[in-house]
Structure 1
């Protein structure tokens, strides 16, 4: 609440400052006289009269009250009424006097409007050069957003309100939503990379909420992929974790097979498949034989197989006799 009041005060102060500055610098034409010499009013053009003349000296043509000498040179002048935004005009000078230097008379419509790259401000009825967020500014009136509302000129730059953040296009200010906050559309969550709105701001498929709940982290698919937190590894690879080297690995006593970190069975351990067998000794290779993990690169395996064969033959012999 207080941040909104503070921002509003800044907005009003900036308008007052720029308006007082522009009021001092707007050229008023009511005191100007033309270069045309006259002796009577008949010598002057429309909406003007002969000023400063008497029986002994000539005068110069000057605009009637309510008209301004907006166009003047040595051979021509025109007394015209001031115009404002959306009203009829013949010359841009009729518009500039009220709209400021960014106002002009549209050549096609003959209506006062703002020049390209400028916008009309309803508060003080003037045209301002349009500035995006982060652009240099002198007044909040310059800082126009996509929806037509104004941002705030703070410390010489266009900025969002205290509780808002700019979009990537720098033409909108959005409320600073966090993961888990209530939302109405994906746009509400767009300041959180890789998120969407599902009633609340959530991480998209393939991403997980970080430990502190501030942003979404990409999930790893297999061992060895980059990571910063364990959640990235364990979501798709059960029992995996993020090592200090920032890589997904299996914990001690497990190894990666298929899509999971399975328990490693050492020599003489119970097994059902070869892939379960893994020795802690790197040079030793194991296979699963008759529900037991045995070495493949030693004489022990051969002897074990021979003994097992004799036992099987002996058992068959006993059955037959």
Structure 2
């Protein structure tokens, strides 16, 4: 025992494990104040008529590991983390900000989400952020230079609500054109796969979509030249796309020599017949 065990008596001290009057004839029992609300004045611990409370600095407070309830009449155990049992929201947010007590369990409040055992505000792509956890409401997003953006290898969708994976190869699966355009340039997402736009073809050496070069346009290699809607009948001659030797140019396209000769012969015959009829 110690002197503190004799606090309930006036002028009492602890001598040989017994409370005795300290030079006074009488040791009267102190009048105690029964404090029933946290934060109210107290002199000794016995004044605080609240379970798990102590008298500290002249005020009734909860002991370590406990927190005052909303009505400041009960000392409740501080929750260990999300999912812990609770009666009052103060048990949750004392240790974890942005939390509530929902269905007797600690959970993140509205417009917040859980990340690594903590609740963070929901911050969308393109909005200002202060912590990496705020951006995790969007998968594959991060906080960089104070703004939520997509991680490397991902791009925002058209609505800026998702981070979509950038296609690495032509014909890779996709949802939106931006997944294809980012790496291949003039490309589109067609029927769920990346492909070059019309009049463009994929150049493996450069890894991008390059526009087809048509008849009479400048070129460097035969592979630069392509005919419209057919197997290429062009080749690069002196820096320009021209019809290959087995084709002849007609009305801006390359026609088979045999077909051209037949067509020309039929035209000559037709004109000859018309000439005969005119002079008969």
TM-score (norm 1): 0.48
SS in 2 for 1:98: coil
* Match status 1:244 vs 2:191: yes
Instruction: Provide the residue aligned with 2:89 in structure 1.
Output: 140
Q: Distance in 1 between matches of 2:93 and 2:145?
A: 31
Measure how far apart 1:208 and its partner are. Answer: 1.9
Measure how far apart 1:206 and its partner are. Answer: 3.1
Q: Which has the higher helix share?
A: 1
Measure how far apart 1:197 and its partner are. Answer: 2.8
* Match status 1:273 vs 2:234: no
1:255-270 paired onto structure 2 within 5 Å: 255-257=201-203, 258-265=206-213, 270=218
Deviations 1:79-120 (A, max 9, x none): xx8799xxxxxxxxxxxx8239xxxxxxxxxxx977xxxx42
Which of 108, 111, 116 is equivalent to 1:160?
108
Q: Which runs of 5+ in 2 are unaligned?
A: 1-16, 20-30, 33-44, 54-61, 248-280
Does the aligned pair in 2 maintain the 1:140–1:153 contact within 8 Å? yes
Instruction: Provide the residue aligned with 1:62 in structure 2.
Output: none
SS in 1 for 2:51: helix
SS in 1 for 2:223: helix
Cα 1:134–1:230 change in 2 (3 A) is: farther
Which of 215, 219, 224 is equivalent to 2:162?
215
Does the aligned pair in 2 maintain the 1:218–1:232 contact within 8 Å? yes
SS in 2 for 1:232: helix
1:39-118 paired onto structure 2 within 5 Å: 98-99=51-52
TM-score (norm 2): 0.53
Q: Distance in 1 between matches of 2:211 and 2:108?
A: 54
Higher relative contact order (CA 8 A, sep 6+): 1
Which of 153, 172, 175 is equivalent to 1:225?
172
Q: Distance in 2 between matches of 1:153 and 1:220?
A: 43
Q: Runs in 1 of length 4+ with deviation above 6 angstroms?
A: 81-84
Q: Distance in 2 between matches of 1:150 and 1:207?
A: 29
Does the aligned pair in 1 maintain the 2:66–2:76 contact within 8 Å? yes
Q: Distance in 1 between matches of 2:219 and 2:225?
A: 7
Instruction: Provide the residue aligned with 1:254 in structure 2.
Output: 200
Q: Distance in 2 between matches of 1:249 and 1:207?
A: 18
Instruction: Provide the residue aligned with 1:313 in structure 2.
Output: none
Measure how far apart 1:217 and its partner are. Answer: 2.0
Q: Distance in 1 between matches of 2:195 and 2:172?
A: 9
* Match status 1:191 vs 2:191: no
Instruction: Provide the residue aligned with 2:255 in structure 1.
Output: none
